[in-house]
Amino acid sequence: MEEKLRLLDPFTEEYKVSADLGTEQMYQKIDKEIDSPTLFDRWKTQQPQCRFGQEGICCHICGMGPCRINPKKSERGICGATAETIVSRNLLRHVTAGAAAYIHHAKRAATTLKETSEGKTGFSIKDEKKLKEMLRCLGLQESSSPMEMAKSLADFFFEEINKPVEEPSAFVTAFAPRKRLQVWEELNIIPGGAHSEVLESITRTMSHINTDPMELLLNATRLSISSAYTGLLAAVMFQDILLGTPKVTSVQTNLGVIDPAAVNILVHGHQPLLVWKILEHSQDEDLLCRAADAGAKDIKVYGSTDVGQELIGRGNGSARLAGQIGSWMKQEFAIATGAVDMMVVDFNCTIPGLKAMAERFHTKLLSVEPVVRLEGVDTLAFDPSKADEQARAIVEMAIEAFTNRKPDRINIPEHTSKPIVGFTTEAVLDVLGGSLSPLIDAIVAGKILGIAAVVGCTNPHRGRHEMSPLVLAEELVARDILVVSSGCCASDIQHSDIMTPEGYHYCGDGLKEVCYSLGIPPVLSFGSCTEIHRIVEVVTALSHTLNVDTSQLPVAVSAPEWMDEKSLADGLFSVALGLFTHVSPALPVTGSKFLSRFLSHRESKRRHMRNESTIVDILGGEFAIETDPVRAASLIEYHIAKKREKFL
């Protein structure tokens, strides 16, 4: 049953956790029939959450601690650290972890590219044009051999990430918006080698080393730039080269896509390489015969979270993803359908509570990434040179798990939707006829007021799942603001018809006309959270085409339910790019008067009245904290209107 995501009154009793009927139905089933708390139940038991943690004023990095800053009782930690030091040091620690995870992801893709170039893997070069473009931008030699070029690119990446901090990263200087580079150069925040930057950052945050809040903040900003180019950009580009650049397509989404008659494999995480091979081998004739012998009519692979977003625009040969289940917060509910035989987890966003749910069903959990370890769960660490045999082994395990299924425990909600997905910079240019001019003309004519990116994770912090990204997207398009989305926000919005061509009925008149004439939805799905890079690419292209700095564009960013440390790195990078950046929940900086005033939109207005400088003065971007998505849309609209005054 395809239907529009039903928006619910967050204060009704009827719906307990989610605006999505499928999730809500599964939650109520688990509540009544299965003795297994979910993420939503655990969220409730944590309320009220600790104010010291929320505000970032708890420090436990040395044995004298933990210390908490309480203005009425203790304004400093035992060592004398102020709230400003503790908050900024904690922020840098968070950003370091997030940046390291992105860079780790890029390294995994680079290793696969290198081993492929040496003929050691079953992968090949699927996007030679992009490979050549990368070489050209980085000043490397092209050759007639794709494998030689791939080797040269992978080798260059490893040399780059090992450079000292003093030598600017070529991945930043080659791909960042030109006018932005000047801003970053003046602030000395163009990063060097990513490994060195991570090492330098974590060293500075050890106890009693660096206590200057401004310096720690600039360090975090510099690292966020390193993460954006050596992490996100490199991962996206290498994956495009190996798997092909995604294409615009449509896909069935939500829990209702699960087929009770098939062997079902759910892939969950962020890294699409091994799971792409699983998709391919799920259609091997001999494995399909074995599945049939076990009583299944097919073998199906479904996406969950970002790795699903990575696969839906790609496919592998004739093998296609059977559907995208949804955001990371659906993982326990997918298992509770009783029809997921195997769940393959490849990187972050696998919750520790997942195993408890899997134990109540027959689902086999498997980690496929060396750094991902779940207590009591098997690991088959991805080895690019063995990817084909590993993928086949995983499909065999899924067939085996299927034989343990208990048909009387299967309960799959009916709800599905069919959004348009797979937008990239290339796809946007394609839709626009090869140049950004039609988009710019529509902005100048006021048909589109501006562009807002609604990106990143989802978070139960408002007590209802799937509300904020969708309400925000609906509010923005109604105000003629084109929305681009990625990450779990995109997974949530995909459950609505706002991501179909019919979605233009949500729009204001101007945006409606543009969407109707181009045949596009008003919310463009740009894939995974790593693929936020593709949105940065579009913003960079706009800045170059118009020869203006990114901070001058009528563009804004929202992370309406940010959750992990990667999001903090992304958020800071967005501000470093000069963009107005809405976040909810509040960043863990509000315990520092200096940081909250310096970073925050509302406070910065007051500081300007006192002639004090804020982050807008040095970077052009700022954070706006607002938990209500309707009010957040108004803030974004106001910001875009201001930018238009200068832009036009």
Residue 88 CB neighbour total at 10 angstroms: 29
Of 257, 405, 255, residue with least CA distance to 321? 257
- Residue 252 vs 271, nearer CB to ligand SF4: 271
Q: Return d(Cα 566, Cα 572) in angstroms, integer.
A: 10
Closest approach of Cβ 304 to ligand SF4, in Å?
8
Q: Return d(Cα 204, Cα 219) in angstroms, integer.
A: 9
Closest approach of Cβ 65 to ligand SF4, in Å?
2
Closest approach of Cβ 247 to ligand SF4, in Å?
22
Is residue 139 within 8 Å of residue 152, measured between CB atoms? no
Helix (H) or strand (E) segment spanning residue 427: helix 425-431
The torsion angles phi and psi of 324, rounded to 5 degrees, stand at: -115, 120
- Residue 177 vs 269, nearer CB to ligand SF4: 269
AA identity, residue 597: R
Closest approach of Cβ 180 to ligand SF4, in Å?
24
Q: How many CA atoms lie within 13 A of 242 on its CB side?
A: 33
Closest approach of Cβ 64 to ligand SF4, in Å?
4
Which residue's structure tokens are 């027959």?
A: 362
- Residue 529 vs 625, nearer CB to ligand SF4: 529
- Residue 306 vs 603, nearer CB to ligand SF4: 306
- Residue 59 vs 321, nearer CB to ligand SF4: 59
Is residue 272 within 8 Å of residue 454, measured between CB atoms? no
In the DSSP assignment, the letter for residue 505 is: G
Of 125, 128, 112, 127, residue with least CA distance to 274? 112
Closest approach of Cβ 18 to ligand SF4, in Å?
15
- Residue 60 vs 606, nearer CB to ligand SF4: 60
Q: Which are the contacts of 383, defined by CB distance < 8 A and separation ≥ 6?
A: 390
Of 321, 134, 329, residue with least CA distance to 242? 134
Closest approach of Cβ 648 to ligand SF4, in Å?
34
271: left (phi over 0), alpha (psi -120 to 50) or beta: beta
The torsion angles phi and psi of 365, rounded to 5 degrees, stand at: -95, 145
- Residue 520 vs 529, nearer CB to ligand SF4: 529
Which residues form the interface with ligand SF4 (CB under 6 A)?
Answer: 59-62, 64-67, 77-79, 81, 86, 207, 305-306, 327-328, 348-349, 456-457, 487-488, 529, 563-564, 566
Q: Which are the contacts of 335, defined by CB distance < 8 A and separation ≥ 6?
A: 343, 354, 357, 358, 361, 363
Is residue 200 within 8 Å of residue 500, measured between CB atoms? no
Closest approach of Cβ 289 to ligand SF4, in Å?
34
Closest approach of Cβ 597 to ligand SF4, in Å?
22
- Residue 62 vs 202, nearer CB to ligand SF4: 62
- Neighbour-count burial of 198, counting CB atoms closer than 10 A to its CB (0-12 exposed, 13-18 middle, 19+ buried): buried
- Residue 347 vs 580, nearer CB to ligand SF4: 347
Q: Partners of 261 in the beta sheet?
A: none
Closest approach of Cβ 461 to ligand SF4, in Å?
13
Residue 105 CB neighbour total at 10 angstroms: 26
Closest approach of Cβ 530 to ligand SF4, in Å?
8
Tokens in use for 329?
């917060």
Closest approach of Cβ 71 to ligand SF4, in Å?
15
Strand, helix or coil at 456? coil
Q: Partners of 482 in the beta sheet?
A: 451
- Residue 117 vs 496, nearer CB to ligand SF4: 496
- Residue 86 vs 321, nearer CB to ligand SF4: 86
Closest approach of Cβ 330 to ligand SF4, in Å?
10
- Residue 44 vs 60, nearer CB to ligand SF4: 60
- Residue 109 vs 395, nearer CB to ligand SF4: 109
Closest approach of Cβ 350 to ligand SF4, in Å?
9
Distances in whole angstroms, Cα of residue 173 to Cα of each of 182, 552, 559, 599: 10, 20, 26, 26
Distances in whole angstroms, Cα of residue 376 to Cα of each of 327, 345, 365, 541: 24, 14, 10, 47
- Residue 169 vs 459, nearer CB to ligand SF4: 459
Tokens in use for 326?
């949804």
Distances in whole angstroms, Cα of residue 194 to Cα of each of 199, 390, 452: 9, 30, 29
The whole-angstrom distance between residue 128's C-alpha and the CA centroid of its chain comes to 26
Angle at 96 between CA 181 and CA 157, to 5 degrees: 60
